[in-house]
Structure 1
Amino acid sequence: MKMSLSIRLSVAIRIVLCGLVLALGLHVYSSPAAAQTTATDPGQQEKVQRFLELVEDPQVRSWLLNAKSSAETTTPAGVVEKPVSYAGFATTFRAHVGQLIVGLQAFPAETSKAAAILQNEIDTSIRARPILFVLAFVAAGLTAQWCFWWLSAGWRAWIASLRVLTVREKLIAISVRLLWAICSIMAFALGSIGFFLALEWPPLIREIIIGYLFAVVIFRLARASFDFLLAPPGSGGFANAERFRVVPVADQSAAHWTKRLSYIVGWYAFGSITVYLLHALGVAGPSRHVAAYALGIVLLILGIEAIWNRPEAMPPIGETTRFGRIGMRARNWLWSVYFVSLWLLWVVGMMKPFWIAVVAAALPGAIALTRASVDNLLRNNIVETGTDPVSPINVDIQTGIALPAATDVSAGSQTLPEGTVIANPDTEAVVVVQSKPGVISVMVERGIRATLIVGAILFLADVLEINLTGITEQDSAARRLMRGALSAGIILLVIDLVWNIVKVLIDRKLGETELAHAHGSERERRRARIRTLLPILKNVLMILFVAVAIMMALSALGVEIAPLIAGAGVVGVAIGFGAQTVVKDIISGMFYLLDDAFRVGEYISSGSYKGTVESFSLRSVKLRHHRGAIYIVPFSELGAVQNLSRDWVVEKLTVTVGYDTDVDKARKIIKKIGQELLADPELAPITIEPLKMQGIDSMGDSGLILRMKFTTIPGEQFTLKRRALMRINQAFHDNNIKPAFPTVQVAGGEGTSNIAAAAQQALAKHNEAMAANV
């Protein structure tokens, strides 16, 4: 049973969450290390000033340049990787844990010192808690955002009335809604941060207030972003926000993940600013690490809570869910263990395994979300109405939104899956389908996927300290193999993108050939030719792309492909001698196609094989017999081919009538029947030349044999023949023209009868005389 789209996307969102939760927590830990301490100590300012003066000294600058050049000449091209040993890892781990213990023991004293510095700054400057100013500026931002919301009521009403059936309508509506969300966030930012920047503040107080204001803005921006992508019901003040959903998920899932992901991003922003401010307040590194890990625990709890409280994915209409409650609980436990493992890897400082685990889990989810979102945005929703209601589901025909029964049509619920048949309140059956993916859709989806994968590869290469552009003598075999594998992955992605674009172009061209055209027209012949050649071209290109991809990937891995190509040539020659029949089939098929001997859909006969051509391969053709059997015939066994479906067909039939028949009258009757058949709207499209009598074909033993003929398009002669014979039989009966049939007549004369009687009498007398003699 096929998994529903909402199930797949809910799983994909959870996968992305696994990378988001603790990757943000890691940044909380790593960002303060590069932060700059606020210069509040006059002695520190004097040291900085002396350093700048030394740098400006020409002699010092010349010495620094000479030292740099000598370092470049003595440093090897590549950095020699230190051998990894368990003892070294254990030493590093014990040192890291020791620093954490020291930081945990010193944490109360460090925080007390930071509180004293902050209190001293407050007492000498603003004489109020910075949190009060933060709340005041947040309130100012909310007020500005509410004013924008009130002033844009007409804008929102216009957005809510937009149709979202075609790709153009979707993109316009979603773009306008995105612009509205950006303006709303800008109103909040201007009302909070803009008002704050207009005033003068002490340096440390400015860092605290602006930092937490930025955290609030980031939270609001995250909420607006997830509202835009997931569009939960009622988001942004839109009554029908579900119509603008970029990621097609169920309403409950959209509301759940919008809220949870916003909280996670908001807590990340708050934690990042907090650890940064601890650094600015003079808290030592180990104690900041302890604070970062504690904030990471909150992120861990938020992630686990989001997993365990997520709504169950709803299956499509007419299907049941694949996963029971037990399976869902098992997956929740697996995700919980995964999150805890990531947090532990971060705490113990194993950053390379941490990032590998994050990318391995987040990348598939991001690809799945990209595919679903692009498919949702770049396909037309085609709505067709019928007459028979099939399912008790309401639909808004203007918007293409399916609604539960007894729900107002003006408020949509979720987008219909492809091919769903539903009924609207007026008992009209409605079929909502999506068009096939186009070239732009494939290019965007595959391009984003390639970008994500390449970005992940480059990121992992940076984490693992692998140089993808250069090879040095100091590189180990494992490092070179990894570099080659990453390069091969990029090559395969590019080839995959090109192949999918070519495949979509071919499939679209094949789809255009399904349109009916007049038989025998140039378009019809071209359509049949395309349907015959494009599948073969598609297979050949697939083999070509696979071969090129394998060769380029092996080359990226450091394998010399020239000997492989030469060896493949020798092996190919050997295989050619050993498989001469296969080679003969392929070459024969090429010449059949070049001669245009037959096309897909044509009825052919060759020897004992006959049937409709269904498809080709490189070595055989598949024929469907008119009784249903399928023949798979190698090209080399076809021989002479009789094509019964090209251009037109002449059908001849005979009727035997008595010798006393008026032939001229029969000819007129048959001609009239031919005109009547030609006037029939069902038979006229298949008739090329009407039925007519050619004359007397021969004089048989029992009557005159009349020959008739007509011309039709290939394959339709049997239909016209049956109708013609029925009408001829009825017309001959009505006009007293009797068909001839073989008869046997036994006849004799009167003399013969008398002779036989006399013979009988003579025989009787003879018998009596013989009896008397005895």
Structure 2
Amino acid sequence: MPKHITYAVWRGLFAVLIAISLLTNPLQAQSLVSTTSTDRETAVPDLPDPLTEDTANALISRLSDSEVRALLLDQLNAQATNPDDDTDEIEDFIYHLTSGAFAQITIALQRLPLLVTEQARAFSTFGNFVGTNGLLAIAGYFLMVLLGAFAIEFAFRRLIRGWLVLPPRRADSQSMREAIVPLAKRLTSEIVSVAVFMFAAAQITRLAVPAYYHPFFMLVGPWLIGLPRMSAAVARFFMAPNAPDYRIVSATDTTARAMVFHMFWLGMVIGIGQVIVPFNVANGVPVGETRIGAWVNFAVHLYVALLFWRYWSESIDMMRGGYNDLSPAEDWIARAYPYFGIGVALATWWIVNIVVSYENFALLEGIPQYKTLALLTFAPAMDTAIRGLVRHLAPPMTGEGPVAERAYVSTRRSYVRIGRVLVFGIVLMAVASFWDMSPTTLANAGVGERFAANLMEFLLIIAIGYLVYEVVSLIINRKLAAEMTASGYDPNAEEMGGGDGGGAGGSRLSTVLPLILGVSQAAIIVLFLLLGLSNAGVDTTPLLAGAGIVGLAIGFGAQKLVTDVVSGIFFLIDDAFRTGEYVAVDSTMGTVEKISIRSMQLRHHRGPVHTLPYGEIPKITNYSRDWVIMKLRFTVPFGTDPNKVKKIFKTIGAEMMEDPLFQDDFLQPFKSQGVLEFDDVGIVMRGKFMAKPGTQFTIRKELLTRVNKQFEENGIDFARREVRVAIPGLDDHDKLDEADKAAIAAAATEAAQEMVEAAPGAGKPGD
């Protein structure tokens, strides 16, 4: 039997025994409520270990009523004095987040008067310890070490001076490598030079300075000389104050020089804080006595906040990176960056106060707050670097035209988003490393190991899911653009519908890919969301059960929807239509503009859009598949030589086959089909050509123009329709008055109208 069930059983038995004893002796009830001294003096029996059914029966068999009451009171008191651990953790965390952190600020303000006096006492103690001669000796040794180390560094710089000077950059150069490599060489050279200086200073100190001065020299050198110079070197890498052609971050020369200057002094302020605290401890001033570390920390964060305030517009320009094609979201992020920078400065300062309220001073030994500030301060540089790398590393544009251009822009933005997610993840991991954040450390801090682990797993799964989402979208969109470019299909082009219907469509793959993209994106979202929730401890079984119920409801209550979906799948398998093709469904005609899993949209060449569910399509007639034959009719007057017309048609067909503008669009040249018929106007001649779908209308326009020109040059007229009205008995037609002419004109108009109405195809839409 499980242990917790055993405890519950025996507590129930104890309660029953007490109830029986209370009913049999009311005085015992009074004694239980009042908890007399006799009961308090009764020894509480120990529970057997292990507590099994046999040991529990043996215990009950030998307990008296008073011992039962004592055991029950002991269990009740234990529960009363041990409140819920989770509630304690939450309340404790809220206290340190608010009142505890604020209390540290209050303490620092209260001890501000001690800052001057205690710091003076530390300096006085140090002065008394070394004496006047000792101070002079320290100054002399310090000057000797500096001069010697700088001399060695100067000699080293002479050896590598080629790496310290940026070569002239061509004005037309757009290669990211040409900018990064010289900057990286200079940064490496400066860091190595500082390291050489520090190593030389350490060796000179070890050889020429008395041993009891070594700790002071080893403390001052790295923090007050090494750190500021390293900070300035990193700032010069990004800002290139004297070489704007190499500048990674978008900034003016004035702003670039100012940033390098401020980075140096920020490093100096941080270094002062790291030197003064151990100096005070060594000279009799405890760490928390003056709270000078808190004031230095406040000064650094205030410095950063004031930098964002002073260079507000400049920081926005840095985040924009000099690009004019930013999306609205990117522009909003750029405008919000100064707020973000100030917020980060204030947040990290407050986090330090929270850590101090926990008295976890060991966490601050690695100055994680300053590392976090430095990492987030250079966010514009990282974002600009991502866009620069994408500009030079992204695959070149495939094909030509607006479709290829849109695909190229979309591809670049996808690469930028993927790069940003990766950099964001790296930044989060680095910040977590700075603050020693892991499930174990969070558990030790009272957050709870299970909660911390679940939270980190959830965020990791969601991040991976987003990357998969972007990568799948990128691959499918690139393939779709390649297919559309190869087929020459542009859904936004004005003439893609063919003007009169019958335009060229996209490939079969370009028709199916949008559906695949939508289904893939939806599947990725659902899959990774369920995985994330499952790993976060959320029971996803009810969600899956609910989805199954919804599926059954759709199956039974939406059979028409299922019919549409299944019919659409088979239409796509049969390749009955493609996006951009001109089709007819019964009397509905139009260009396939959009397809979904349930329906298709046809846009008529006059503008209306028809939405047709797949289940209601009995038959599809496709006018744009593979090739198109167009036949043209020309009526010439009676007496025209048909052979002469045939030669003209043959000449025009040969000329257009040689024309670079049209030769790739023809599948068969334009040629005459001879005399088609004789009508009451003249001789009807017909010609035809075979072309690629979507090009026939441009070819037809050019053909009509050339035929008209050749007819004029060869003296051939187009036959004109005439209406003759015979009026019996009207022999003297030269003496008609105006009334007779009006009557004849009315009769002729009526006759012409009757002929038009009787003509084949009269009155049909689109004629």
Shared fold by TM > 0.5?
A: yes
Name 1:14's counterpart in structure 2.
none
Q: CA deviation at 1:214?
A: 0.4
What CA distance in whole angstroms lies between the structure 1 residues aligned with 2:165 and 2:372? 43
For residues 187-198 of structure 1, what are the structure 2 equivalents within 5 Å? 187-198=193-204
Q: 1:694, 1:707 within 8 Å by CA — same for their partners in 2?
A: yes
Q: TM-score, normalised by structure 1?
A: 0.65
Report the AA paired with residue 724 of structure 2: V
Once the two structures are superposed, the pairs formed by residues 593-632 of structure 1 within 5 Å of their partners are: 593-632=572-611
**1:227 Cα shift?**
1.2
The aligned residue for residue 383 of structure 2 is: 371
Cα deviations by residue, 1:506-538 (Å, 9 ceiling, x for unpaired) = 33333434545689xxxxx99733432332222
**Residue in structure 1 matching 2:271, options 269, 272, 282:** 269
Alpha-carbon shift at residue 713 of structure 1 (Å): 1.5
Paired residue type of 1:462: M
Structure 1 residues 563 and 331, CA gap change in structure 2 (3 angstroms): closer
Offset from partner CA, 1:561-614 (integer Å, 9 cap, x none): 234323311221212333334333333332222222233333333334433334
Structure 1 CA distance for aligned equivalents of residues 309 and 274 of structure 2? 26
User: Following the alignment from structure 1 to structure 2, what is the Cα–Cα distance between the partners of residues 705 and 329?
Assistant: 78
1:739 aligned residue (708, 719, 742): 719
Is the CA contact 1:252–1:311 (under 8 Å) kept in the aligned structure 2?
A: no
Q: Which residue of 1 aligns with 2:564?
A: 585
Instruction: Give the 5 Å matches for 1:154-303.
Output: 154-155=162-163, 159-161=167-169, 165-166=173-174, 169-198=175-204, 199-200=206-207, 201-215=209-223, 216-231=225-240, 233-234=241-242, 241-287=243-289, 290-303=291-304
- Residue 452 (str. 1) matches residue 464 (str. 2): no
Contact 2:248 / 2:381 at 8 angstroms: preserved in 1?
A: no
Distance of aligned partners of 1:346 and 1:738 in 2 relative to their CA distance in 1, 3 Å threshold: closer
**For residues 582 and 131 of structure 1, do their structure 2 counterparts lie closer, same or farther at Cα, with a shift above 3 Å needed?**
farther
Alignment-derived partner of residue 389 in structure 1:
none
| C-alpha separation in 2, matches of 1:475 and 1:293 | 24
Q: 1:623 to 1:243 in 2, by over 3 A?
A: farther
What is the aligned partner in structure 1 of residue 700 from structure 2?
A: 721
> What does residue range 545-584 of structure 1 map to in structure 2 within 5 Å?
545-584=524-563
Q: What amino acid sits opposite 2:221 in the alignment?
A: L
Are the counterparts in 1 of residues 127 and 135 from structure 2 also a CA contact under 8 Å? no
If asked which structure has higher relative contact order (CA below 8 Å, sep 6+), I would say: 1
Would the aligned equivalents of 2:266 and 2:300 in 1 still touch at CA under 8 Å? yes
Taking the aligned partners of 1:631 and 1:554, their CA distance within structure 2 comes to: 42
The amino acid of 1:691's aligned partner reads: F
Deviation at 1:247, TM superposition (A): 3.3
Instruction: State which drifts further: 533-542 or 294-303.
Output: 294-303
Contact 2:418-2:467 within 8 A present in 1 as well:
yes
Give 1:385-396 correspondences, 5 Å limit: none
Deviations 1:18-46 (A, max 9, x none): xxxxxxxxxxxxxxxxxxxxxxxxxxxxx
The amino acid across from 1:116 in the alignment is T
Residues 463, 263 of structure 1: CA spacing in aligned structure 2 closer, same or farther, 3 A cutoff?
A: farther
Alignment partners' CA distance in 1, 2:368 and 2:136: 46
Identical columns (%)? 23
Q: Distance in 1 between matches of 2:730 and 2:342?
A: 115
Indicate conservation of the 8 Å contact 1:304/1:339, yes or no: no
Question: CA 1:529 to 1:88, structure 2 compared with 1: closer, same or farther past 3 Å?
Answer: closer
Deviation at 1:456, TM superposition (A): 4.9
1:258-310 alpha-carbon deviations (Å, 9 max, x no partner):
332332222112211221233344532332x6221232343244234423422
- Identify the structure with the greater helix proportion: 2
Kept in 2, the 8 Å contact 1:621–1:632? The answer is yes
**Helix, strand or coil: the match of 2:480?**
helix
Over residues 650-676 of structure 1, what are the superposed CA-to-partner deviations in whole Å (9 max), with x where a residue is unaligned? Answer: 011223344433333332232223223
Distance (Å, rounded) in 2 between the aligned partners of 1:606 and 1:253: 66
Cα 1:496–1:121 shift into 2, 3 Å = same
Counterpart residue type for residue 375 of structure 1? R
Structure 1 pair 374–304 and aligned structure 2 pair: CA distance change class (3 A): closer
State the one-letter code of the partner of 1:295: V
What does the per-residue CA deviation read over 1:126-164, in whole Å, with 9 as the maximum and x for residues that have no partner?
663535544554455555555555555554566333678
- Report the 3-state secondary structure (helix = DSSP H, G, I; strand = E; otherwise coil) of the residue aligned with 1:684: coil
Contact 1:111 1:283 in 2 (8 A): no
Q: What root-mean-square deviation, in Å, do the aligned CA atoms of Structure 1 and Structure 2 show?
A: 5.0
Q: Deviations over 1:54-102 (max 9, x none)?
A: xxxxxxxxxxxxxxxxxxxxxxxxx989556589877998799779968
Give the structure 1 partner of residue 480 of structure 2. Answer: 510
- Aligned residues of 2:584 and 2:621 also touching (Cα < 8 A): yes
Q: Distance in 1 between matches of 2:570 and 2:139?
A: 84
Change (3 A) 1:318 1:274: closer
| Structure 2: unaligned runs, 5 residues or longer | 1-84, 397-401, 403-407, 490-503, 732-767
C-alpha change, 1:539 and 1:363, in structure 2 (3 Å) is farther
Number of equivalences? 602
| CA spacing shift, 1:623–1:549, aligned 2, 3 Å | same
Cα pair distance change 1:117/1:176, threshold 3 Å: same
* 1:661 maps to amino acid: T
**Partner amino acid, structure 2, of 1:744:** R
Contact kept? 2:277, 2:287, Cα under 8 Å: no
Amino acid at match of 1:218: L
The match for 1:485 is 455
Q: Which runs of 5+ in 1 are unaligned?
A: 1-78, 235-240, 385-418, 420-432, 520-524, 752-774
CA contact (8 A) 2:176 2:388 kept: no
C-alpha change, 1:616 and 1:248, in structure 2 (3 Å) is farther
Asked if the contact 1:193/1:213 (under 8 Å) is kept, the reply is no
Q: How do 1:759-770 residues align onto structure 2 when only pairs under 5 Å count?
A: none
Q: Distance in 2 between matches of 1:92 and 1:284?
A: 21
Question: Quick one: distance in 1 between partners of 2:595 and 2:200?
Answer: 69
* CA 1:331–1:447: 2 relative to 1, 3 Å: closer
Query: Structure 2 length as normaliser, TM-score?
Result: 0.65
Q: Does 1:661 align with 2:661?
A: no
For the Cα contact (< 8 Å) 2:101–2:354, is it kept in 1?
no
Secondary structure, counterpart of 1:212 in structure 2: helix
Q: CA deviation at 1:205?
A: 1.5
1:358-413 per-position Cα deviation (integer Å, ceiling 9, x unaligned): 9999998776653332112331399x9xxxxxxxxxxxxxxxxxxxxxxxxxxxxx
- Structure 1 residue 485: deviation in Å? 3.3
- Quote the offset at 1:548 in angstroms: 0.9
2:228 aligned partner, one-letter code: F
Q: Quick one: structure 1 residues 487 and 737, their matched pair in 2 at CA, closer, same or farther if it must change by over 3 Å? A: closer
Change (3 A) 1:157 1:706: same
Distance of 2:165 and 2:123 partners within structure 1: 51
Q: 1:91 to 1:613 in 2, by over 3 A?
A: closer
State which of 648, 664, 667 in structure 2 corresponds to 1:688. 667
Q: 1:553 to 1:229 in 2, by over 3 A?
A: same
Cα distance change, pair 504–252 in 1 and its aligned pair in 2 (3 A): farther
1:118–1:366 distance in 2 versus 1, CA, 3 Å: same
Instruction: Tell me if structure 2 keeps the 8 A contact 1:164–1:173.
Output: no
Partners of 1:357 and 1:153 lie apart in 2 by: 35
